[in-house]
Amino acid sequence: MSQAFLRGCIFLLALYPAIASAWWNEAWPYRRAVALDTSQSGVAIQGSESEVSVLLRLHSGNFEDFFLIKEDLSDLRFMAMDDSTPLKHHVELFDLVNQMLFVWVKVPVINGNLSTEKVWFYYGNSEAVSSADVAGTFDANEALAFHFQASDSSVVDKTAYTNLIVENTSSLNPASLIASGARFDGQQRILVQDNPSTRMIPESGFTFSAWIKPEGAQLDNYLMHRKAGATETIVAIDGNTLYAKYVNGGSIFETPRSIMLSDVTWQHIAVAFKASELSVYLNGNSVMTVPLSLVESAGDIYIGANQAGNQGFVGEMDEVRISKTARSADWIKLAALQQGHGDKLLAVQTGEQLGAAGSSNGFFSVIFRSTEESGWAIIILCAIMGLISWMVMIGKTLYLGHVSKDNAAFMDQFKSLSGDNLAMLDHEESKEESTMAQTPISQAIFGGHDHFQSSPVYHLYHRSIQEVHQRMGKSAGAQAAALTPSAVDAVKAALDAQMMREAQKMNSQMVLLTIAISGGPFLGLLGTVVGVMITFAAIAATGDVNVAAIAPGVAAALLTTVAGLFVAIPALFGYNWLASKIKEAIVDMRVFNDELITRIAETYGE
């Protein structure tokens, strides 16, 4: 038995990689995991909630693939944690310019104190047909839901019950908490016709919830009112306090007016009516509970004012919901903490591409495959330019390293020379050394260094000794004849000329780095402009404005700019570093030049 169990475990472990990397449908090239974490202290719930409609806010901070989604959003698909069960969803807002996408998704179950649950979000299929189901996104107990979408000509109930809106005088606010919202000025309201779906039944209960932002203190103004026969239901604000009231014939059940509200921030309020209990929630927390004797109640529902049309609410309202059941504390808490800004429940994970094992290499492969011939030509030119600049930087670095080393070695020996032995360090150049001196980088890397061949300071010294010998005669000795002031000036002029030639050697090929610095970005920009022109020409020729088809071409066009920057940035840093080292070497030559002339005048002058 134990061996069979062990074999079964091994078999399951062998299958795990395939299961973990399973892809729901290969027609969808991109997907992301959306984690649901209820283990955090701010979102911790006690039990589990089924069929919860959650709001997924996608923006440039957590989602960079807006241009891979079809413009009509028909390619959006959501799968349960098993990566095979489709989830109902619908879109409330899609703003491609500002990169915002608000999607409501019905999650089968959310368990408390778990950080391992997730849903899968698929996109990028240009041939997909929309599967959005607005009414199906809500559970059967959701009797009324207002999104206040700007696309709606009037307020529309999004649930399957499609409650009739008899009157709506509220104003639309396009920049509300969740996309658009409703604004009330104290004289406006929304009238929902009585419907069996919105009736209050003691066995199941009733819940009213909404996001509100009052403007100033309210004068006992109504958020929701319902009155029929001997029953009346009120949710209102008096001053800055929220209260709920239920009238059953001669019995009045009312919460104390002590729940303080803010008039500067959005707040989630919910009132749950149970058979024997009335509870008020603020921002997901239960703040007041009083006894209640609930009877079956019906009647039209007024939002934003009372039945008579006065005592109207002043402020903004969003995501108004009515449930034909008394929602649990966990359900209300999830709504309050998840629908507002700073959602702690949902976390969008790193994007994955089919066949790319979830890595960003898959995206680069799409870019490379989409690059046109003109783009590759620019990239190849940039690669050649980059190769040349790196060769220059490496060669110059090695050369200047030898310059610094040979300069230091020469100066140590020169300082120990006496006046009579000033020419002791001079060596005659061989023909090979004379030839290699024309290519200082080759001299530094491959040449000898037995008598300071890479030292420009030594070259000044060697030239000065040659000039002195030419004017005094090698066989006559150091004191055979003195140098006249004009001869000393001639030696100084020869040293100045030699110093300029040494400076030219050190600065040679630096112009290639300046070309890379300035030319690389412009070449990249040229490739980008040409690539974008080709992409838009293709759009004009085919008439296909599908974002998923356009985006790879634009991304490929931008690849040339990246290539140009890859050339320019290292060249810029290398140029500045090399220029500082060359400047130091030139300063050393100038100081030594003045010192050498002085010593020559003292030793050989009249």
C-alpha to C-alpha distance for 401 and 332, rounded to whole angstroms: 71
Q: Exposed, middle or buried by CB within 10 Å (0-12, 13-18, 19+), for 338? A: buried
Does 488 score more than 80 pLDDT? yes
Does 92 score more than 60 pLDDT? yes
C-alpha to C-alpha distance for 284 and 270, rounded to whole angstroms: 8
Does 474 score more than 50 pLDDT? no
C-alpha to C-alpha distance for 516 and 518, rounded to whole angstroms: 6
Residue 315: its pLDDT value, please? 96
Residue-wise burial string across 245-281, b where 16 or more C-beta atoms lie within 10 A, e elsewhere: bbbbeeeebebebebebeeeebbbbbbbbbeebbbbb
Is the separation of the CB atoms in 55 and 345 below 8 Å?
no
**H-run or E-run covering 442:** helix 440-446
Query: What backbone phi and psi angles, to 5 degrees, belong to 521?
Result: -60, -35
Residue 597: its pLDDT value, please? 85
If you search the block for the tokens 């009733």, which residue do you land on?
Answer: 206
C-alpha to C-alpha distance for 289 and 598, rounded to whole angstroms: 101
Q: How confident is the model at residue 120 (pLDDT cuts 50, 70, 90)?
A: very high
C-alpha to C-alpha distance for 119 and 107, rounded to whole angstroms: 8
C-alpha to C-alpha distance for 382 and 519, rounded to whole angstroms: 9
**What is the identity of the amino acid at 360?**
S
Does 14 score more than 60 pLDDT? no
Domain boundaries, the chain: 26-141+327-359, 163-326, 367-606
- Please tell me which residue, 107 or 454, carries the higher pLDDT value: 107
pLDDT 10s digits, 234-264: 999 999 999 999 999 889 999 999 999 998 9
pLDDT 10s digits, 202-220: 999 999 999 999 999 999 9
What counts of helices (H) and strands (E) characterise the chain? Answer: 10, 24
Average the pLDDT over 97-120 and give the result: 90
**H-run or E-run covering 77:** strand 77-79
Angle between helices 485-507 and 373-414 (to 10 degrees): 150
CATH number of 163-326: 2.60.120.200
Residue 113: helix, strand or coil by DSSP?
coil
C-alpha to C-alpha distance for 8 and 253, rounded to whole angstroms: 62
| Least confident window among 9-18, 97-106, 442-451 | 9-18
Q: How confident is the model at residue 157 (pLDDT cuts 50, 70, 90)?
A: very high
> Which of 195, 187, 93, 97 minimizes the C-alpha distance to 143?
195
- Report the DSSP pairing between strands 48-59 and 100-111: antiparallel
Model pTM score: 0.60
* Residues forming beta bridges with residue 386, ordered by sequence position: none
Is the separation of the CB atoms in 472 and 518 below 8 Å?
no
- Report the DSSP pairing between strands 165-168 and 190-192: antiparallel
Write the DSSP assignment of 562-600 as a string of letters: HHHHHHHHHHHHHHHHHHHHHHHHHHHHHHHHHHHHHHH
Rounded (to 5) percent helix, strand, coil in the chain: 40, 25, 35
C-alpha to C-alpha distance for 237 and 366, rounded to whole angstroms: 56
